[in-house]
Amino acid sequence: MLNLRQKFGKFGENLAARHLKKLGYKIICQNYRTKLGEIDIIAKKDDTIVFVEVKSRRTSTFGHPKHSITLKKQQQISKTALYYLKETNQNNVRARFDVVTVNSVNKKHDVEVIKNAFELAWK
């Protein structure tokens, strides 16, 4: 059973996926999980594989959601993305990391796509 925070996160991810589809992204999968980590959405836009991190907020108390993606989180997403590319034998494809933010205040949902939000991060 999902708690309220998890339900809101799932809502934000689904809203982000619908928004990306409207922008011409083809959703390959959602919630790709490995022992290395999770990627919220993997999509394809034109000839590029796009790894998408979704950040949702109900209030502005903790600032804009795009500022919550730490270097450690970028490294985890990067490792998981490389694992995905290797697992699916897509070693020579173009790829990038986008962030989708969902701000939901007073039942108004503001969705923003930040393309190339960060580079491949490796530790």
pLDDT 10s digits, 41-73? 999 999 999 999 998 866 565 555 566 688 999
Average pLDDT over residues 87-114: 87
Burial class (CB in 10 A: 0-12, 13-18, 19+), 56: buried
Domains of the chain, CATH where assigned: 4-118 (3.40.1350.10)
Report which of 90, 76, 84 is spatially closest to residue 120, judged by C-alpha positions.
Answer: 76
Phi, psi for residue 39 in degrees, rounded to 5: -120, 130
Tell me, what's the pLDDT at 11? 78
Tell me how long the chain is.
123
